[in-house]
């Protein structure tokens, strides 16, 4: 469950070069592939596939769906990809673990200090991450921030970046396979997922019921289109929350499963030779 809102910002599909948001995604995909190739122990191809799927969803969100900004349903699909599905694919790829395996020692030490920082522990707590996703979405939809982002493309892209960052943080805090010191137990993470899911559902229903007055300050709003977008938000959120729950329990099960210890190598057999002494005919043995 992450932040994804039906932002219908007119004109953003044509504002600025349409290829510009694709450039960072290409860098992310290329950098991950290069790191996976450099891993001396061999990187799991399933992790690589998960990362590429996440990047592909980002490309769809900022590429083909970008011209559909006039239709709130198309924009809802865009934000579902940015804030929900793509972050899950990126998180399950374990990029931090890969970086720790290929980076030089000074970089690994810096990453270790960052993971142990108290500020990150607070920010990456499932409750905090859930508040950033659902709370950030509510802040956009229930305040004039929505209309302001419609008028300013820079703010519009900043909102997109917040959705992606908050979605990644929440997926990592709940079900991420990457190292996370002081990560709460299963009960806390399940509770945060349920709370975020409930908040997302309530917000979608409220948006559906108040489509005629929300978001504040929006010019030429289409209530019926926003009701359809709210329905997509509601049911699309259910699907992504189910996928996140599956990822949570899968990651938890794998962490609880005992690791297989390598079998000890068999010791070489001692060959005992027996032969008769030529002197007295007695048996003598040697190895």
- Per-residue pLDDT of 205-228, as tens digits, reads 998 998 888 778 777 777 888 888
pLDDT at 74: 74
Higher pLDDT, 52 or 11: 52
- Token pair belonging to 275: 């032969």
pLDDT at 92: 95
Is 105's pLDDT higher than 60? yes
pLDDT at 152: 84
pLDDT at 3: 43
Confidence of residue 180 (pLDDT cuts 50, 70, 90): confident
pLDDT at 286: 45
Please state the pTM of the whole predicted model.
Answer: 0.81
Q: What are phi and psi of 231, to 5 degrees?
A: -65, -40
pLDDT at 266: 55
pLDDT at 131: 93
Encode 236-250: b = buried (16+ Cβ within 10 Å), e = exposed: bbeebbebbbebbee
pLDDT at 258: 61
Please answer whether residues 7 and 149 qualify as being in contact, where contact means their C-beta atoms are separated by less than 8 angstroms.
yes
Confidence of residue 33 (pLDDT cuts 50, 70, 90): very high
Residue 131 DSSP symbol:
I
Higher pLDDT, 197 or 79: 197
pLDDT at 90: 96
**Which residue has tokens 């950030």?**
136
pLDDT at 287: 44
Alpha-carbon gap, residue 200 to 133, rounded angstroms: 9
Our measurement of the distance from residue 88's CA atom to the centroid of its chain's CA atoms, rounded to an integer in Å, reads 3
pLDDT in tens, 242-265: 999 999 999 888 877 665 554 555
Confidence of residue 78 (pLDDT cuts 50, 70, 90): confident
Count of CB atoms situated within 10 Å of the CB of 182: 11
pLDDT at 246: 94
Mean pLDDT of 64-92: 81
pLDDT at 95: 96
pLDDT at 260: 57
Nearest alpha-carbon partner for 138 in 5, 230, 241, 229: 5
- Token pair belonging to 60: 């769809």
Confidence of residue 157 (pLDDT cuts 50, 70, 90): confident
Please answer whether residues 118 and 63 qualify as being in contact, where contact means their C-beta atoms are separated by less than 8 angstroms.
no
Confidence of residue 87 (pLDDT cuts 50, 70, 90): very high
pLDDT at 275: 44
Confidence of residue 2 (pLDDT cuts 50, 70, 90): very low
Average per-residue pLDDT in the chain? 81
Please answer whether residues 76 and 229 qualify as being in contact, where contact means their C-beta atoms are separated by less than 8 angstroms.
yes
CA 213 → CA 77, 88, 152, 202, 231, distances in Å?
A: 22, 33, 21, 17, 17
* CB hemisphere CA count around 182 (13 angstroms): 12
Please answer whether residues 55 and 101 qualify as being in contact, where contact means their C-beta atoms are separated by less than 8 angstroms.
no
Helix (H) or strand (E) holding 275: strand 273-276
pLDDT at 259: 57
DSSP letter string, the chain: ---------TTTTTSS-TTTTHHHHHHHHHHHHHHHHH-TT---HHHHHHHHHHHHHHHHHHTTTGGGGGSHHHHHHHHHIIIIIHHHHHHHT-HHHHHHHHS-HHHHHHHHHHHT-HHHHHHTSHHHHHIIIIIHHHHHHHSTHHHHHHH-HHHHHHHHHHHHHHHHHHHHHHH--S--TT---HHHHHHHHHHHHHHHHHHHHHHHHTTTT-STT-SS--HHHHHHHHHHHHHHHHHHHHHHHHHHHHHHHHHHSPPPPPPPPPPPPPPPEEEE-TTT--EEEE-
DSSP helix/strand/coil, 7: coil
């Amino acid at each position: 469950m992450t932040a994804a809102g039906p932002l219908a910002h007119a004109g953003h599909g044509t504002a600025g070069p349409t290829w510009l948001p694709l450039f960072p995604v290409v860098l992310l995909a290329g950098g991950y592939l290069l790191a996976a190739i450099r891993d001396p122990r061999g990187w799991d191809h399933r992790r690589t596939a998960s990362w590429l799927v996440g990047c592909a969803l980002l490309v769809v969100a900022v590429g083909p769906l970008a011209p559909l900004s006039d239709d709130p349903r198309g924009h809802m699909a865009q934000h579902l990809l940015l804030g929900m599905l793509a972050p899950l694919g990126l998180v399950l790829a374990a990029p931090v673990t890969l970086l720790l395996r290929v980076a030089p020692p000074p970089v690994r030490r810096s990453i270790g200090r960052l993971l142990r920082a108290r500020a990150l522990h607070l920010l990456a707590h499932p409750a905090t991450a859930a508040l950033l996703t659902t709370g950030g979405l509510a802040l956009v939809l229930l305040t004039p921030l929505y209309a302001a982002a419609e008028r300013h493309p820079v703010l519009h892209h900043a909102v997109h970046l917040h959705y992606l960052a908050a979605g990644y943080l929440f997926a990592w805090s709940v079900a991420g396979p990457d190292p996370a010191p002081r990560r709460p137990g299963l009960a806390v993470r399940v509770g945060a997922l349920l709370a975020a899911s409930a908040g997302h559902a309530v917000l979608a229903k409220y948006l559906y019921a108040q489509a005629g007055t929300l978001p504040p300050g929006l010019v030429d709003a289409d209530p019926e289109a926003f009701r359809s977008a709210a329905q997509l938000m509601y049911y699309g959120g259910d699907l992504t929350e189910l996928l996140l729950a599956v990822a949570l329990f899968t990651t938890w099960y794998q962490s609880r499963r005992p690791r297989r210890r390598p079998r000890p190598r068999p010791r070489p057999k001692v060959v005992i030779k027996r032969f008769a002494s030529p002197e007295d005919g007695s048996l003598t043995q040697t190895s």
